């Protein structure tokens, strides 16, 4: 992938992850934002690094930690970076390793490039759609080379990964470790009525979308609040792998056809459902 936007995003994402790991190994303290969500020095350090690096491309950057940018200003953006410097701050504080750095490139409200890096696992999920490059693809890179991405060899897997295909096993549903609502449980029951017993896996942060992209899970219903920076990078990876991220239809297990879109005035996402490339709702 010889594209300067990709190269910048790749390097910045890994650098942010490595900075987070340094703080993760220290005696850090947690604070509380105005909305009572947690904040650590790792969130702020990764934010500063990403905004500086991605800003060098000349494109605006919208980060969770700079979400106060007025809609009157950002509504004029046709292409911009959407960033969650540390997705899964609760998981970071719990020290369970299930947190990520999310970097997405948005073009005309669509995520066209996404990078999701799990620093503790040292795994990078990335993907780009046809609007970014004529040959869309999604990859999982283990122990990614900070100098340049390597899309060959045992450390690089093109997604979805055939080794993770479900086959004849039960439906695999991934859900939030911290936000498993009653509405989500009800939706899973509807899926089981249509597809038989389901196996439920809990996971934190954007790793849930990446599990669907790689084929380790079939469906991820998110019937609880999320923000745009929580999902954009993962959605790009899912769509690049042939899957879908679509707005939830409360009347049916078959979601509306409308995909999740970005840079709305209200940055709170509608409820949505993520489906793998092989999963069919009907």
Query: Range with the lowest mean pLDDT among 133-137, 143-147, 171-175, 278-282?
Result: 278-282
pLDDT of amino acid 138: 98
- Domain 4-158 and domain 163-275, same fold? Reply is no
pLDDT of amino acid 256: 63
38: left (phi over 0), alpha (psi -120 to 50) or beta: beta
Listing DSSP states for 55-123 in one string gives HTTT--EEEGGGTTS-HHHHTT-SEEEEEEEEE-HHHHHHT-S--EEEEEEEETTEEEEEEEEETTTTE
Reported confidence tier of residue 140, pLDDT bands at 50, 70, 90: very high
DSSP E strands, the chain: 30-32, 38-40, 61-63, 79-87, 100-107, 110-118, 123-128, 137-142, 156-158, 171-176, 198-203, 219-222, 244-247, 272-275
Inter-residue contact 64 to 229 (CB < 8 Å) = yes
Q: Count of residues for the chain?
A: 282
Which of 1, 11, 208 is closest to 100 using CA atoms?
208
Edge to edge, the sheet with strand 110-118 lists 61-63, 79-87, 100-107, 110-118, 123-128, 137-142, 156-158
Domain map (residue ranges) of the chain: 4-158, 163-275
**What is the percent of the chain where pLDDT is above 70?**
94
Higher-confidence residue of 186 and 244: namely 244
pLDDT of amino acid 90: 83
User: What are the tens digits of pLDDT across the range 17-66?
Assistant: 999 999 988 877 777 676 667 778 888 899 999 999 999 999 999 998 88
- 11, burial (CB in 10 Å: exposed 0-12, middle 13-18, buried 19+): middle
Reported confidence tier of residue 91, pLDDT bands at 50, 70, 90: confident
Q: What is the distance, to the nearest Å, from the Cα of residue 245 to the centroid of all Cα atoms in its chain?
A: 11
pLDDT of amino acid 231: 97
pLDDT reading at 224 higher than 70: yes
Report the C-alpha gap between 51 and 62 in whole angstroms.
8
User: What are the tens digits of pLDDT across the range 229-273?
Assistant: 999 999 999 999 999 999 997 776 666 678 999 999 999 999 999
- What is the model's pTM? 0.93
The percent of the chain in helix, strand and coil, each rounded to the nearest 5, is 30, 25, 40
pLDDT reading at 279 higher than 80: yes
Higher-confidence residue of 204 and 150: namely 150
pLDDT of amino acid 143: 97
Q: What is the distance, to the nearest Å, from the Cα of residue 94 to the centroid of all Cα atoms in its chain?
A: 20
Cis peptide before 251 (omega within 30 of 0): no
Superfamily of chain region 4-158: Fructose-1,6-Bisphosphatase, subunit A, domain 1 (3.30.540.10)
pLDDT of amino acid 168: 82
Task: Classify domain 163-275 at the CATH class level.
Answer: alpha beta
Edge to edge, the sheet with strand 171-176 lists 198-203, 171-176, 219-222, 272-275, 244-247
């Amino acid at each position: 992938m010889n594209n300067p936007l990709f190269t910048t995003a790749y390097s910045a994402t890994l650098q942010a992850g490595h900075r987070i790991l340094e703080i993760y190994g220290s005696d850090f303290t947690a604070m509380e934002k105005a909305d009572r969500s947690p904040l650590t020095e790792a969130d702020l350090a990764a934010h500063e690094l990403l905004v500086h690096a991605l800003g060098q491309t000349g494109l605006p950057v919208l980060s969770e930690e700079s979400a106060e940018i007025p809609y009157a200003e950002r509504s004029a953006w046709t292409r911009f970076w959407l960033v969650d410097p540390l997705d899964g701050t609760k998981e970071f504080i719990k020290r369970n390793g299930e947190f990520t750095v999310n970097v997405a490139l948005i073009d005309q409200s669509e995520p066209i490039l996404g990078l999701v890096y799990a620093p503790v696992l040292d795994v990078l999920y990335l993907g780009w759609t046809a609007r970014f490059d004529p040959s869309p693809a999604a990859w999982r890179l283990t122990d990614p080379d900070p100098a340049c991405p390597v899309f060959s060899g045992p450390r690089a897997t093109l997604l979805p990964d055939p080794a993770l295909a479900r086959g004849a096993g039960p439906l695999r549903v991934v859900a939030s470790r911290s936000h498993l609502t009653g509405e989500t449980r009800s939706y899973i029951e509807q899926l089981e009525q249509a597809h038989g017993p389901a196996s439920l896996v809990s996971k934190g942060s954007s790793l849930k979308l990446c599990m669907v992209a790689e084929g380790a899970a079939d469906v991820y219903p998110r019937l609880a609040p999320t923000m745009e920076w929580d999902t954009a990078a993962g959605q790009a990876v899912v769509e690049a792998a042939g899957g879908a991220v679509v707005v939830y239809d409360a009347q049916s297990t078959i979601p509306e056809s409308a995909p999740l879109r970005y840079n709305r005035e209200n940055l709170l996402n509608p409820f949505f459902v993520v489906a793998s490339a092989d999963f069919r709702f009907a």
